[in-house]
Structure 1
């Protein structure tokens, strides 16, 4: 299994994003949490910041949209140069059309589900998506505790993916004490915030997490 580690820029120093990205050369992508204070009760940054990150980052960006009306906004993040644009099933009115628009704009299309959302209605449409994100905390804030009870859902998605080229991502509470559990359930792409940027050597933390998941 290919293991991908995506440090979340949400846990980095907002005044020094370029330095934060430069500190994690071993990472596969940079995870960018876009929140609008409507879909989730938090506000981060939007398209102008992502566009600037694309210009300055040596790593590709995985943009996680925790916003209302992703049908309207998601393609713009792909046009800005994001490698992957992931939107929430709960917020999209036309998830398949939105995924297709993201792909037409040049990015991979991901769909995310909250902990309480039934993922099964979307598994029949896996061909439309390049990534499925199973949230392992309620979206909106970093630093929450990993919900181990969601590993059955992760396993269900893994079984549905089979040999398709679809990444299975988990986000929330991922660290040295939880990543092996998520990997054993079938996840291959891991978002880690404070477990990377909260460490003295962020890149060493990335390598350690990769080793734990690979094992």
Structure 2
């Protein structure tokens, strides 16, 4: 099943409850929460108090993406905020395996996020403690960047590795995910889509309309692939 996860850093924070209510009604599958520390990436975004607020507003799974250095120091903090899933960047820690085990021991799904230029071999010894891989399709830090086409092949190679080894791992794509990029991401094996200003938060439609269009795009692509 293909899952739509709006990126809440793109939401209207002045009308957060209304935004979430509309997206819940439209049938989104999860919410993506970007946490940036100004060190690993040159930006600051959402924090634990924000995640606690979102947790009170929806029953949907919360996917917390830690774009911070040494994320293992903060796993307990973000697990305690109501996260259901936490991803950490392979580039941000010297103990990736330990960080993932810590997430799983907290009862959450554990994810590895990898930047566009990071090779897949960083995953070689952590597949057994990984529930999902976040393939960054832009360099992390800011919304509205251009998709990096070379990442399509990376998604395909990761999908092939997962299939060959029968791993129970999902592939999440994050960065400029919209009408121009979703079909090829789907074709190459992605199943989770972080949707920001290129899809759910596009100015052209309401949140509900944009979720419906994104869902239709995914379902149409699935139909085409089955023929």
Fold match (TM-score > 0.5) = yes
Partner residue, 2:129: 128
Q: Distance in 1 between matches of 2:185 and 2:10?
A: 21
User: C-alpha separation between the residues in 1 aligned to 2:192 and 2:213?
Assistant: 14
Residues 21 and 58 in structure 1, CA contact (< 8 A), matched pair in contact too: no
1:55 aligns with 2:56: yes
The structure having more radius of gyration, on CA atoms, is: 2
The higher relative CO (CA closer than 8 Å, separation ≥ 6) is in 1
Offset at 1:154?
Answer: 0.5
SS at 2:212 equivalent: helix
Quote the residue 2:4 is aligned against. 5
| Contact residue 35 and residue 65 of structure 2 kept, 8 A | yes
- Could you say what the CA RMSD is over the residues aligned between the two structures, in angstroms? 1.3
Corresponding residue of 2:176: 173
The residue number in structure 1 matching 2:225 is: none
The gaps in structure 1 that reach 5 residues or longer are none
2:156: which partner in 1?
155
Shift in Å, 1:133? 0.6
Equivalent residue runs for 1:1-215 within 5 Å: 2-25=1-24, 26-162=27-163, 163-194=166-197, 195-199=199-203, 200-214=205-219, 215=221
Unaligned runs of 5+ in 2: 222-227
Instruction: State how far apart, in whole Å, the 2-side matches of 1:15 and 1:74 are.
Output: 28
1:40 to 1:109, Cα distance in 2 relative to 1, 3 A: same
What TM-score do the two structures reach when normalised by structure 2?
0.90
Look up the SS of the partner of 2:208 in the other structure.
Answer: helix
Q: 1:31 to 1:136 in 2, by over 3 A?
A: same
TM-score under structure 1 normalisation?
0.94
